[in-house]
Amino acid sequence: MKAQVLTGSQTENVSRVRLSTLILGSVIMVLLFSIVYIRQMSIRTGYDISSMMNQIEKKDIEYTALLDKRSESYDSEHLYNRAKELEMVLPDVKRTFYVKE
Give the per-residue pLDDT at 56: 97
| Exposure string for 14-36, b = 16+ CB within 10 A, e = fewer | eeeeeeeeeeeeeeeeeeeeeee
Q: Does the residue 4 lie in any domain?
A: no
> What residues in the chain have per-residue pLDDT under 50?
none
Distance CA 72, CA 78 (A): 7
State pTM to two decimals.
Answer: 0.52
Give the per-residue pLDDT at 99: 79
Q: Does the residue 73 lie in any domain?
A: yes
Give the per-residue pLDDT at 98: 75
Query: What residues make up the domain containing 78?
Result: 11-85
Distance CA 19, CA 12 (A): 10
Our count of domains for the chain comes to 1
Give the per-residue pLDDT at 18: 86
Q: Does the residue 30 lie in any domain?
A: yes
Decide: 90 and 80 in contact? Cβ < 8 Å.
yes
Q: Does the residue 17 lie in any domain?
A: yes
Q: Does the residue 42 lie in any domain?
A: yes
